[in-house]
C-alpha cells in the first residue's frame, strides 16, 4: 500500500437471481485505477454469498487499509441511484445466495449492535450527483440480503478504524436487463459510472454531511 496515495475501495457484486450481469460490477470495474481527489480507486468483485462476501471484504480492508469504502449492489426495480443510510444486523434471505444458503432471521454478526448509519455523506453525495444532472435518492433500507450484510459488516469493521468511512449504493437495472423485467426502470451504465465518480468525489471532500432535508415522510 502506497501511503501517499490512499485507496478508495469500491466493491460490486457478481450476478445473482438468474441475471447474467450485475450493474454494480459493470459500473465499479469501469472505475478501477481511476484517481479521485488524491485517492486511487480499487474495484473488487464480491460473491453474492453471505460468508464468502464478508471474508473477501475483510481481506481487502486488511490488505488495502482504505480510508473510504463504497460498496455497490443491484436493486432491480429502483428508479435511480439509491444511497443507503442504514445497515441492520439482520439476515432474512428471500432467495438462496449463490452458495445455496438461505439464512432466515439471524444476525449478520452475533453480538454486534442492531444497526449502523452510513459514515459517508449521503446528502452531499446525492447533491453532487444532482449538480451533474444525475438523479439519486436516499434509502432507509438496504433490505436484509447479501447487500445489507456486506454494508453492516463493513460499518462494523470500520467502527474499529478511526478515520475510515463507508457507505452503500444500490443501482437500478441496466437497460439490457429489461428483457426479463419489462416496464421496470433502468439507468444506463455511463450515467451510473458518472454518478459513482461524483459520489466518491463528495465522499473525499465532505466529512460532516450537509444539513439538507431529505427524509421520507412514510
Give the three cell numbers for residue 145: 440480503
Q: Is 48 in the site for ligand PCA (CB under 6 A)?
A: yes
- Indicate which residue of 84, 129, 144, 186 is catalytic: 84
Burial class (CB in 10 A: 0-12, 13-18, 19+), 35: exposed
Q: Which residue is nearest to ligand PCA (CB)?
A: 147
Active site residue 39: no
Q: Is 73 in the site for ligand PCA (CB under 6 A)?
A: yes
Name which of 13 and 83 has its Cβ closer to ligand PCA: 13
- Indicate which residue of 39, 42, 129, 147 is catalytic: 147
Name residues contacting ligand PCA, limited to 129-158 (CB under 6 A).
Answer: 143, 145-147
Q: Is 75 in the site for ligand PCA (CB under 6 A)?
A: yes
Active site residue 84: yes
Active site residue 147: yes
Nearest approach in angstroms of CB 101 to ligand PCA is 13
Contact window for ligand PCA (CB under 6 A) among 69-77, 103-111, 182-190, 196-204:
69-77
- Indicate which residue of 39, 42, 156, 170 is catalytic: 170
List interacting residues with ligand PCA (CB under 6 A): 13, 16, 22, 24, 48, 73-75, 143, 145-147
Amino acid at each position: 500500500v502506497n501511503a501517499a496515495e490512499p485507496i478508495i475501495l469500491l466493491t460490486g457484486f457478481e450476478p445473482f437471481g438468474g441475471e447474467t450481469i450485475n450493474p454494480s460490477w459493470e459500473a465499479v470495474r469501469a472505475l478501477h485505477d481511476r484517481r479521485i481527489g488524491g485517492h486511487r480507486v480499487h474495484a473488487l468483485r464480491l460473491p453474492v454469498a453471505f460468508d464468502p462476501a464478508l471474508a473477501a471484504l475483510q481481506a481487502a480492508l486488511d490488505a488495502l487499509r482504505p480510508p473510504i469504502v463504497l460498496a455497490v449492489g443491484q436493486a432491480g426495480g429502483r428508479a435511480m441511484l439509491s444511497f443507503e443510510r442504514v445497515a441492520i444486523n439482520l439476515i432474512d434471505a428471500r432467495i438462496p445466495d449463490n452458495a445455496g444458503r438461505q439464512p432466515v432471521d439471524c444476525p449478520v454478526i452475533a453480538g454486534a449492535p442492531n444497526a449502523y448509519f452510513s459514515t459517508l455523506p449521503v446528502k452531499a453525495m446525492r447533491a453532487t450527483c444532482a449538480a451533474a444532472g444525475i438523479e439519486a435518492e436516499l434509502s432507509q433500507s438496504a433490505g436484509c440480503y447479501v447487500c445489507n450484510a456486506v454494508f453492516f459488516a463493513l460499518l462494523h469493521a470500520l467502527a474499529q478504524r478511526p478515520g475510515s468511512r463507508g457507505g452503500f449504493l444500490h443501482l437500478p437495472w441496466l437497460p439490457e436487463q429489461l428483457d426479463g423485467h419489462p416496464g421496470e426502470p433502468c439507468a444506463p451504465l455511463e450515467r451510473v459510472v458518472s454518478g459513482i465518480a461524483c459520489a466518491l468525489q463528495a465522499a473525499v471532500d465532505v466529512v460532516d454531511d450537509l444539513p439538507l432535508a431529505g427524509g421520507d415522510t412514510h
